Every structure is written in structure tokens, then in C-alpha cells.
């Protein structure tokens, strides 16, 4: 792809999600003949959009395409489609980030180890100066566990790769199995209709589902009831895929060992939510993809994609 005018709008309240001078230097050195313009804010971005043939941005509304006659492609670091809307006319191609798995799979592993290795007990014992060595006899190892991943796109597949390296047996779940009947990092691939059959055997259930109407409430009270006694649930996708009251019921009943939650139906999670005070819940503030390497990975992926267009 030949880029004459590149417009960049990658400022973000999260510093790790914002382009730095080193990223701009890399872009300029990779495209010495391209006019690279960095928008100062969203208003400046809109004003300069008419000249751009390619943009790197966190936000793009569908009505903006009409005022961008030269635009050929929109690239965003985001994996979900929440902030960058596709061109209704289909004229402009839209590219979303696929690099997040390398970061988020480490977040997932840290959550799993938190429960498997009873780190909440370790922290409590340390705080109270207790040598509680005999309380770890029931710790479990990932290499001896079965992990069901619901949402087996690029995120789920990256997670499966690392889990397989740990020795876990992974079950991949996709709504459409066309071309995914087998996968090198899954012992079995199933669609959502068969998930109830597999849940009673899974030690860990990982949800990395996208948001939207298609996934709203897709993991129901029946799914929680079908989960293995003592299993853990992890959600690093979107908070709409189950009703939080169903999750709380499962946690309070003792059927679930614990839950590692990075996303919620309402964010920030309200102070009134019972999830804050449940002892078997680990909460992270939608931070599973935050890493100092985030923009590095995005720029590397963007350069590779542009080279092959």
C-alpha cells in the first residue's frame, strides 16, 4: 500500500496506549516519502482528515467517512469494534489489532496461578506473619488441568498456545467451526451448542468473547450450573456475555472456586457491586492488555500489514 498522507490520532488516557516519540520516529523512518501528521486532539483530527489516505486512530465514527474522500484505510490498535466503526459504503478498509493475545495470555496465566497456587492465602499469611506451609496441599498444577476457551479468535488461540506449553488440555469454542474443526493448540474444537457437554470436565473456563447483541447473555445460568465443582471462571473479553447476578449466585453457592474478572457490564465497576467483597474473586480494572509493549506491538503489526497490502 502506498501512503502519501498518514494521519495519526493515538492519544489515550492510558499512557501505555499512547504513541510516543520513538514510535513516530520509527514510522517516519519506515515511510520517508510520506507526510506524517499527528493530530493534537479529536477536533484537529477531524479537520485534517480530508487530506489523509491512511489513519491510525483509537476512534472513528461512520459519519466521518463522507468527509474523507482520499481515505483508503483505517487502522486501530483496538481488538473490538467499540470505538472504530466500519465504512457503511465499504469503500474504506478497516483493520483492527490482532496482537493483544501476547499480552493478555500472560494476564490470564497470572489469574490462573493466583487461584491454583492460593496466592490470596500467601498474601494473608504474609500480612499476619503466619508460616502456613501445611495449607497448600490442595494446590493444582496447570499441566494437569483442562481449560475451555469460549471465543477462539486470535485472542483465544494465543492463550491456547501458551496454555498448551504449560501442558494444559485446551477445548476451543467457536460459534462457527468452518475451517476450525481442528487446531494445533486444542485437543478438541466445539461450537457453542456443545459447550454444556464440556463444562462439567473443565477446570478453568475462559471467556474472551466480543461485545454486541450476538454475545449478550450467551453464557447463561445453565452454563454456570453445568460447570465443574471447584472450577474457576475468567472473563477477559466483554462484560455483557453473562448476567453478573448469575455469576454472583455461582460464587456464593460454592460451586465455583473463584473468578478472575477484567471486564464488567458497567465500568468502572460500581462500589455497590458485591463482586468487590467476595473473597473468591480477583478483580482487575480492564487492564489485561495494558503493557509498555502495547504500541510497539501495534506498530509492528501495522508495518507488516501495510507491506503486504
Which of 286, 293, 301, 304 is an active site residue?
286
Is 85 labeled as catalytic in the residue annotation?
no
Give the burial class of 131: count Cβ atoms within 10 A of its Cβ; 0-12 exposed, 13-18 middle, 19 or more buried. exposed
Contact 74, 95 (CB under 8 A): yes
Contact 153, 176 (CB under 8 A): no
Give the burial class of 31: count Cβ atoms within 10 A of its Cβ; 0-12 exposed, 13-18 middle, 19 or more buried. middle
Return the closest-CA partner of residue 83 out of 148, 36, 133, 17.
17
Distance CA 209, CA 215 (A): 7
Which of 146, 267, 271, 301 is an active site residue?
267
Is 293 labeled as catalytic in the residue annotation?
no
Which of 46, 238, 266, 301 is an active site residue?
238
Is 47 labeled as catalytic in the residue annotation?
no
HSE of 4, CA atoms in CB hemisphere, 13 A: 7
Catalytic residues: 238, 267, 286
Amino acid at each position: 500500500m502506498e501512503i502519501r498522507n498518514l494521519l495519526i490520532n493515538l492519544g489515550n488516557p492510558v499512557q501505555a496506549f499512547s504513541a510516543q516519540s520513538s514510535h513516530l520516529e520509527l514510522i517516519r523512518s519506515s515511510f520517508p516519502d510520506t507526510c506524517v501528521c499527528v493530530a493534537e486532539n479529536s477536533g484537529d483530527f477531524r479537520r485534517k482528515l480530508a487530506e489523509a489516505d491512511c489513519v491510525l486512530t483509537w476512534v472513528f465514527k461512520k459519519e466521518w467517512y463522507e468527509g474523507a474522500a482520499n481515505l483508503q484505510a483505517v487502522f486501530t490498535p483496538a481488538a473490538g469494534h467499540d470505538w472504530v466503526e466500519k465504512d457503511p459504503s465499504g469503500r474504506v478498509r478497516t483493520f483492527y489489532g490482532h496482537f493483544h493475545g501476547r499480552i493478555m495470555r500472560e494476564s490470564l496465566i497470572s489469574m490462573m496461578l493466583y487461584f491454583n497456587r492460593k496466592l490470596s492465602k500467601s498474601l494473608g499469611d504474609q500480612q499476619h506473619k503466619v508460616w502456613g506451609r501445611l495449607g497448600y496441599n490442595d494446590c493444582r498444577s496447570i499441566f494437569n488441568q483442562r481449560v475451555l476457551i469460549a471465543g477462539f479468535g486470535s485472542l483465544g488461540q494465543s492463550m491456547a498456545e501458551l496454555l498448551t506449553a504449560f501442558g494444559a488440555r485446551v477445548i476451543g469454542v467457536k460459534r462457527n467451526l468452518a475451517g476450525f474443526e481442528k487446531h494445533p493448540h486444542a485437543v478438541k474444537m466445539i461450537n457453542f451448542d456443545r459447550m454444556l457437554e464440556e463444562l462439567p470436565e473443565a477446570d478453568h473456563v475462559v471467556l474472551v468473547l466480543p461485545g454486541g447483541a450476538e454475545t449478550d447473555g450467551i453464557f447463561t445460568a445453565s452454563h454456570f450450573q453445568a460447570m465443574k465443582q471447584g472450577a474457576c471462571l475468567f472473563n477477559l473479553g466483554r462484560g455483557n456475555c453473562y448476567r453478573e447476578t448469575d455469576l454472583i449466585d455461582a460464587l456464593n453457592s460454592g460451586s465455583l472456586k473463584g473468578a478472575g474478572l477484567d471486564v464488567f457490564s458497567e465500568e468502572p465497576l460500581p462500589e455497590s457491586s458485591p463482586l468487590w467483597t467476595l473473597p473468591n474473586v480477583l478483580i482487575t480494572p480492564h487492564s489485561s492488555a495494558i503493557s509498555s509493549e502495547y504500541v510497539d506491538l501495534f506498530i509492528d503489526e501495522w508495518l507488516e500489514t501495510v507491506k503486504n497490502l
